[in-house]
Amino acid sequence: MKDKPREDRIIDVNNRGEIILPIGHFAIFNLKSMKNCHPKIVINGLGSCIALIMIDKANKICGMSHILLPSYNELYYNAPLRYPHKYADLAVSDLIEQLENEGAKRVNLKAIIIGGAKIFQNHQNNIGSENIQMIKNELKRFNIDIMSEFTGGNKGRSVIFKTKTISVLLRETHQEKYEKIY
């Protein structure tokens, strides 16, 4: 019996060649097995959320996760966990596992993290900085180096991860054009 596909893994490409990645979802691509389809993975309007990209260049496998909160507390949510990529403490390990299932080697994985802004200046908590810290702690725990980071601040961001060229474009709120950051 084949495993049921995960509802939090996005594979559908729109007519513009994009995968729009909602909160709590992830996408993974084995670029060696892809013939003519090299989608762009897009997250629009990152505020305190984190876009976590992991790349194994040697094996040409990459993935991206859209993370909302720093941690999952089973007692607080009191419901089955359907979207581990919603939580930084679970997303890192699950993304690593999914990448390894596709053939990536953990020793080759490198990370790019984007987001974690403090959008509401008068608000007491700073979920964005908590998200950044949790992601960094988890990446360190798994010995994954961060090769590029665009985090913090007080502006929202939109991200495009081009799987064909393994490049990342970023646009902050009120910017007209995307800039290549990796």
Query: Interior CA angle at 49 toward 48 and 51, to 5°?
Result: 135
Cα gap 159→150, rounded to integer Å? 11
37 is catalytic: no
Stretch (H or E) spanning 65: strand 61-67
| Nearest CA-CA partner of 128 in 64, 72, 60, 46 | 46
Cα gap 28→38, rounded to integer Å? 11
Residue of 27, 41, 49, 139 marked active site: 49
97 φ/ψ angles, rounded to the nearest 5 degrees: -60, -45
100 φ/ψ angles, rounded to the nearest 5 degrees: -65, -35
List active site positions. 49
